[in-house]
Amino acid sequence: MKRRVGAVVMYDGSGFYGYQGQPELRTVQGVIENALERIFKYRVYTHAAGRTDAGVHACGQLVVFDCPNPRMMNKDIKNAMNANLPPDVYVRYVIDLPPNFNPRSEVYKRIYHYYILNTEHPNVFMRNYVWWFPYALDLQAMRKASEFLEGEHDFTAFRKSDSDDKRNPVRTIYRIRVIRMRGGILLFRVEGKSFLRRMVRNIAGALVKVGVGDWEPEKIKEVLKTRDRSKAPASAPPNGLYLYSVHF
């Protein structure tokens, strides 16, 4: 009987061409499967709860695979993986899952965090981990705008423009929070069941458009109704985005 496990993984996306495996490119899936191959002596294929883009980070990515050794303890799987992974990927813990568990369909909530460094001067040590934005932002306006994105909507206007993703563009966002933190950090926390390609980054870009006063908050509702990507602003850069956690 196969034994399915889930590894909760964090990674620094700066040195990767995204999560999903691609020939000849360094990806998170690729280095994880290479590590598993060194441990078990043959290729073990994995499935993840989210396919993050190049430069995007994760604190709580769920990576699911069938463990070839049914007697191996979860802590030993964790330790073996970390011993074979590069320093920019780390397994936080390993859990047992039902034999047919599919992370793409059985995760009911994904939480993304987007961080902006809203200060006059950049912090060069944080350049790969936040979007430095030196202009004043109106938090109240952004919070009001975010309310128009909550609930079930057609998010075609907020998907990747040249995406070959043919999935249903109707998605549900449970909640968006706009939080001012210490040190000039601004956090967008976006909670939903699932997301389209680049959707969270496009939402972040639109909220900043409201924050600087170029758009009134109600403009978000208008753009949603157009279902036209060209009516929304450019994507926020990838380095501020984190897959924070998944719930199943």
Does domain 3-105 correspond to CATH entry 1.10.1040.50?
Answer: no
**Separation between Cα atoms, residue 149 and residue 87, nearest integer Å:** 37
Average pLDDT score, the chain: 95
**Separation between Cα atoms, residue 123 and residue 64, nearest integer Å:** 36
pLDDT band of 218, cuts 50, 70, 90:
very high
* pLDDT of res. 163: 58
pTM of the model: 0.94
- In the chain, where are the structural domains located? 3-105, 108-247
| Equal fold, 3-105 vs 108-247 | yes
Higher-pLDDT residue of 24 and 165 is 24
The tokens for 215 are 């758009």
Catalytic residue among 12, 53, 96, 164: 53
End-to-end Cα, the chain, rounded Å = 23
pLDDT at 139 > cutoff 80: yes
pLDDT at 162 > cutoff 90: no
Token pair 């306006």: residue: 141
* pLDDT of res. 131: 98
pLDDT at 114 > cutoff 90: yes
Contacts of 231 (CB under 8 A, 6+ apart): 157, 223
Using a pLDDT cut of 70, give the percent of the chain over it. 98
pLDDT band of 109, cuts 50, 70, 90:
very high
Asked if 53 is an active-site residue, the reply is yes
CATH architecture of 108-247: 2-Layer Sandwich (3.30)
Contacts of 73 (CB under 8 A, 6+ apart): none
